[in-house]
Structure 1
Amino acid sequence: MGVSTSLAEDGIAVVTVSYPPVNALPVSGWYELARALREAGQSLDHRVVVLEAPGRGFNAGVDIREIQRDPGPQALIGANRGCAEAFAAVYECQLPVIAAVQGFCLGGGIGLVGNADAIVASEDATFGLPELDRGALGAATHLARLVPPHLMRPLYYTGRTVTAQELHRHGSVWRVVPRDRLRDAALELAREIAAKDGYLLRLAKEAINGIDPVDVRRSYRFEQGFTFEANLAGASDRHRAAFLSPELAPELSTEEV
């Protein structure tokens, strides 16, 4: 369990996240992921990074139970800062990052893939932000990088998900493949990128980030301030408690936590 980095083939680093059963990351996991991504990008042996999280789903967001176990705000602060660091590490990685997504990609997962350079997804992949139902706000910054504004807003307000095929039609998913072909498809794209000059790839990544119209780090931290306000008001705790109660949310309590 945790985050590991391997060399799939020449120039291709694979960062693998494994937090069974649903890849809901604790505070330490977000920081561990951020470190792995930054180190992979700094290595001159690498020219592209593939981010994968095998299992039932790519990412189910933060470990809500960890937040609820803490009588004070430290776990929430840690989750906020840890997510911000991991999302930024994807975006600020010195090399292109390809996200290989299967199953559910929720909450924090949107923050990761929304900041990636490319997304390859399995046919069963779904993407969404159930934040309002969990007493949180955030990652609209990253959802807005995947869909147009007037689709992002109702998706955010309702918590509904979209499929990989729908995102492919919007141009934000590079390719949709059967689940058993996901890693191969991600490596295929990575191989094409890794064939380029490593120095020029690093310049290209910095240049592309430099022309983005939105500062994703600052934008996301702005959103997180409202999550903390909701927590202080008591709304967050009520929603987290309801989500974790088997009687109130039996179909979700084992799916996304």
Structure 2
Amino acid sequence: MTSAVGSINSGKHIRAVTMNAPPVNALTVQGWFDVANAITAAGNDPDCHVVILRAEGRGFNAGVDIKEIERSEGYAALIGANQGCAAAFSAVYDCRVPVIAAVNGYCLGGGIGLVGNADIVIASDDATFGLPEVDRGALGAATHLARLVPQHLMRALYYTASTITAQQLLHHGSVYRVVPRENLDEAALEVARAIAEKDTRVIRKAKEAINGIDPQPVHRSYRYEQGFTFELNLAGVSDGARQDFLARTKGANG
């Protein structure tokens, strides 16, 4: 299987990890672990001072590959997807250097987990963010959406499966810059260069210190959410929701 993730050196002390899983960047179980491994490896490289997490294609990330879950017997793919997402989200948060998320187009489901755990978010002016989980019989990443918007707005977005724009997140302070799509990579690199020129020994300790004073236990709270996804699956609720979603997607694609 070809990895859905690539790592390239984007300049002195800067590593770019690129998601590229056509057609919509919905990642398989292996794809989520690929993201986790690439980010962890970059952070463990002494020559890397900052990581940019970006994507090719129409959107940044469409979450979990639901088709893989539906093709799988039993719960193996579901468990794998949940473990893979937890690993990828944790890799971003625990990366020893700052992670900049450069978000283009749509950022949905697991994409919110990646962005919510990033240190800095740069977005294109066509970027939208949302958690469609309730429409797909699942729960998760409210932990990370709550890092992007205030509590009551998070609840409204979560319950309605609505999206929010990059410009709105800029207003809330969770997106650092919004730029035209063609300028996204350069905008992310501009911020990355400013970090990369610092003493990485100080920046790495700064990352560790900031995580240490974080009031939200992101690892534990996300795993708590995932437990309810398993409950919905065991109750048979999620199967119908996933099948309805795939049927709508097939109909929309002709």
| TM-score greater than 0.5 by the shorter chain | yes
Give unpaired runs (5+ residues) of structure 2.
Answer: none
Q: How much has 1:249 moved relative to structure 2?
A: 6.7
2: CA distance between counterparts of 1:11 and 1:227?
A: 39
User: What is the TM-score normalised by the length of structure 2?
Assistant: 0.97
The residue aligned with 1:114 is 116
AA aligned to 2:181 is R
Q: How much has 1:214 moved relative to structure 2?
A: 1.1
Q: What are the residue-to-residue correspondences of 1:30-49 with 2, within 5 Å?
A: 30-49=32-51
> After superposition, what is the alpha-carbon deviation per residue over 1:108-155, rounded to whole angstroms, capped at 9, x for unaligned?
000000000000000000000000001100000000000000100010
AA aligned to 1:206 is E
RMSD (Å) for aligned C-alpha atoms:
1.2
Q: How much has 1:81 moved relative to structure 2?
A: 0.3
Q: In the alignment, is the contact (CA less than 8 A) between 1:242 and 1:249 conserved in 2? A: no
> After superposition, what is the alpha-carbon deviation per residue over 1:30-82, rounded to whole angstroms, capped at 9, x for unaligned?
00110000000000111000000121000000000000011200000000000
Three-state SS of the structure 2 residue aligned to 1:34 is: helix
1: CA distance between counterparts of 2:67 and 2:9?
A: 33
2: CA distance between counterparts of 1:71 and 1:88?
A: 27
The residue aligned with 2:69 is 67
- Number of equivalent positions: 252
The match for 1:79 among 66, 78, 81 is 81
The match for 2:208 among 196, 206, 209 is 206
Q: How much has 1:242 moved relative to structure 2?
A: 0.3
> After superposition, what is the alpha-carbon deviation per residue over 1:214-242, rounded to whole angstroms, capped at 9, x for unaligned?
11011100000000000001111000000
1: CA distance between counterparts of 2:237 and 2:4?
A: 31
> After superposition, what is the alpha-carbon deviation per residue over 1:184-233, rounded to whole angstroms, capped at 9, x for unaligned?
00000001111110111110000000000111011100000000000001
2: CA distance between counterparts of 1:30 and 1:121?
A: 21
Q: How much has 1:4 moved relative to structure 2?
A: 1.2
Three-state SS of the structure 1 residue aligned to 2:251 is: coil
AA aligned to 1:198 is T
The residue aligned with 2:251 is 250
1:193 counterpart = 2:195: yes
Q: What are the residue-to-residue correspondences of 1:8-47 with 2, within 5 Å?
A: 8-47=10-49
User: What is the TM-score normalised by the length of structure 1?
Assistant: 0.96
Q: In the alignment, is the contact (CA less than 8 A) between 1:98 and 1:117 conserved in 2? A: yes
Three-state SS of the structure 2 residue aligned to 1:14 is: strand
Give unpaired runs (5+ residues) of structure 1.
Answer: none
Q: How much has 1:250 moved relative to structure 2?
A: 3.1
